[in-house]
Amino acid sequence: MKKIIIASILMISGFIQAQNFQGMAVYESKTSTADFMKGMQGNKDITPEMQKQIEERMKKMFEKTFILNFDKSASIYKEEEKLDAPGQQGGGRMMMSMMGGGGTHYKNVKQKQVIVDKEFFGKEFLIKDSLPKYDWKLDGESKQIGSYNCFKATAVVKVSESDFRNFRFRNKEGEKKEETAKDSTKAKKTNFTDDWEMPKENTITAWYCPEIPVNQGPENYWGLPGLILEVNDGKTIILCSKIVMNPKDKVEIVPATKGKEVTQKEYDEIVKKKMEEMREMNSGPGGQQRGGFRMGGGR
């Protein structure tokens, strides 16, 4: 068995050393919707029928397939192209972008650069920044992913405020008594997003494959001694389902060029400011919504 593994590693290493080497990996991304649905509970404006529709739409947005094309130094990570389903125009596309979909992630490990193109509220942005630094802690634990032997690594990372997959539902149980003791004339919160919070940092668990000695991975993940085949941040799981070495159809691994150039921090601030504006629009006097923004989007 060990001889077979060693032979596989030598064969793959030979592929990677080739001048025109490319690899392709397919990833399935699933994000738990529990926190989002919990945040809608108790909202009198949302009927059970509406809640079911929202849950179905969110499930589709939160379960996506991505393709990672990579060579020895760079990669392109892009959502698999599909025909737009009804309701996926306009607001639906905006929400997909905020939930980690849409656009492309380009990483160049030699230049330590990441370039991501995003569309937000009809505007195209080109996020150019340095690759995030991960202080990976390597673990001796191993497991099989498909036919590949993978090893565990963990890291604590700063959360992106423009990625709404990171939202957590705030535990309000301990605050109820305190709230009832406050001035009854104080305006009550009417927006269900008031019960959400964005953590400052998160613990990432990754599984990498030394048999494929490239320090690439899905999204912005990189920096391990082998291709990252699985990532879990507690809410979102990204799992590799297929790997092809030197596919017949080569892909040009180059970054996007269109859009307003911003850093990741600048883009986060733009999204944060816009969402605060939408929150104000959706929380009119008496708790009535005034804006047209909807979670399921598009109508």
pLDDT of residue 82: 67
CA angle 224, 230, 236 (to 5 degrees): 120
For position 287, what pLDDT does the model report? 46
Which has more confidence, 151 or 289?
A: 151
Q: Among 206, 208, 209, 152, which Cα is nearest to 5's?
A: 209
pTM above 0.85, yes or no: no
Q: Note the pLDDT of residue 257.
A: 94
Least confident of 49-53, 128-132, 154-158, 254-258: 49-53
* Confidence at residue 120, expressed as pLDDT on a 0 to 100 scale: 86
What's the pLDDT band for 224 if we cut at 50, 70, 90? very high
pLDDT at 81 over 90: no
Read off the DSSP letter of residue 166.
G
The reply to whether 293 falls in a domain is no
**The pLDDT of residue 77 is above 50:** yes
Residue 105 lies in a domain: yes
Statement: residue 93 has pLDDT above 70: no
Q: What is the pLDDT of residue 130?
A: 96
Check pLDDT > 60 for residue 134.
Answer: yes
Using CA atoms, how far apart are residues 75 and 25, in angstroms rounded to an integer? 11
Q: List the structure tokens of 88.
A: 């996926």
3-state secondary structure of 67: strand
Among 5-19, 141-155, 199-213, 249-263, the minimum mean pLDDT is found in 5-19
For the chain, give the percent of residues with pLDDT over 90. Answer: 43
19 within domain boundaries: yes
* Number of domains comprising the chain: 1
Mean pLDDT (the chain) is 77
Residue 297 lies in a domain: no
Q: Are the C-beta atoms of 258 and 124 separated by less than 8 Å?
A: yes
- Of 209, 189, 127, the C-alpha closest to 160 is 127
Domain span holding position 7: 2-171+190-287
Higher pLDDT, 297 or 131: 131
Closest CA to 211 of 153, 147, 140: 147
pLDDT score for 13: 54
Q: What's residue 293's pLDDT?
A: 36
Kindly state whether residue 238 falls inside one of the protein's structural domains.
yes
21 vs 196, higher pLDDT = 21
How many helices and strands, by DSSP H and E, does the chain display? 6, 14
At residue 119, the 3 state secondary structure works out as strand
**Secondary structure (DSSP) of 230-296:** EEE-SSEEEEEEEEEES-SS---------SEEE-HHHHHHHHHHHHHHHHHHT--GGG---S---SS
Q: Is the pLDDT of residue 126 over 60?
A: yes
Checking if the pLDDT of 188 tops 60, the result is no
299 falls within a domain: no
Q: If you average pLDDT over residues 48-70, what whole number do you get?
A: 83
Two tokens, residue 125: 């942005």
> Does 78 have pLDDT greater than 50?
yes
The reply to whether 101 falls in a domain is yes
Residue whose C-alpha is closest to residue 78's, from 29, 138, 14:
29
- Measure the CA–CA gap between 295 and 137, rounded to whole angstroms: 37
Between these two residues, 149 and 167, which has the higher pLDDT value? 149
Within a domain: 176: no
Average pLDDT value for residue range 174-183: 47
Q: What's the pLDDT band for 88 if we cut at 50, 70, 90?
A: very low
